Amino acid sequence: MTEVRRLVISGIVQGVGFRYAMTAQARLLGITGWVRNRRDGRVEAMIAGDAAQVEAMLAWTCIGPAGSSVDELIVEPAVGDFRDFELRPTA
């Protein structure tokens, strides 16, 4: 069964390649959805996959790529149907 989560990530997450690294990790794990910067300095993402895939993506998101520092990760249940994982424009 597919699980869908909306993520809002706070900390040093813009200007450090977070979105690009998250895209690569999501594709590696077989996660679908999207990621984008927000004007308030946070990163927002929608992720979808089976329970193990989503759990692995959440674990990665808490750490992020080198140079980033995640202070807070908000995870909410969500609804969505995605074909792949994509970078979206800033919102």
Calculate the CA dihedral of residues 83, 4, 62, 10 and round it to 10 degrees.
90
Active site residue 37: yes
Residue 59: its pLDDT value, please? Answer: 98
Residue 1: its pLDDT value, please? Answer: 86
Name the residue range of residue 60's domain: 3-80
CATH number for position 9: 3.30.70.100
Total structural domains in the chain?
1
**87 assigned to some structural domain:** no
| Res. 27 pLDDT band, cuts 50 70 90 | very high
Active site residue 42: no
Q: Which of 6, 19, 39, 83 is catalytic?
A: 19
Residue 41: its pLDDT value, please? Answer: 98
Radius of gyration over every alpha carbon of the chain, rounded to an integer in angstroms: 12
**88 assigned to some structural domain:** no
Three-class HEC string of the chain: CCEEEEEEEEEECCCCCHHHHHHHHHHHHCCEEEEEECCCCCEEEEEEECHHHHHHHHHHHHHCCCCCEEEEEEEEECCCCCCCEEECCCC
Residue-wise pLDDT for 30-56, tens only, equals 999 999 999 999 999 999 999 999 999
Q: Which of 27, 37, 38, 83 is catalytic?
A: 37
**89 assigned to some structural domain:** no
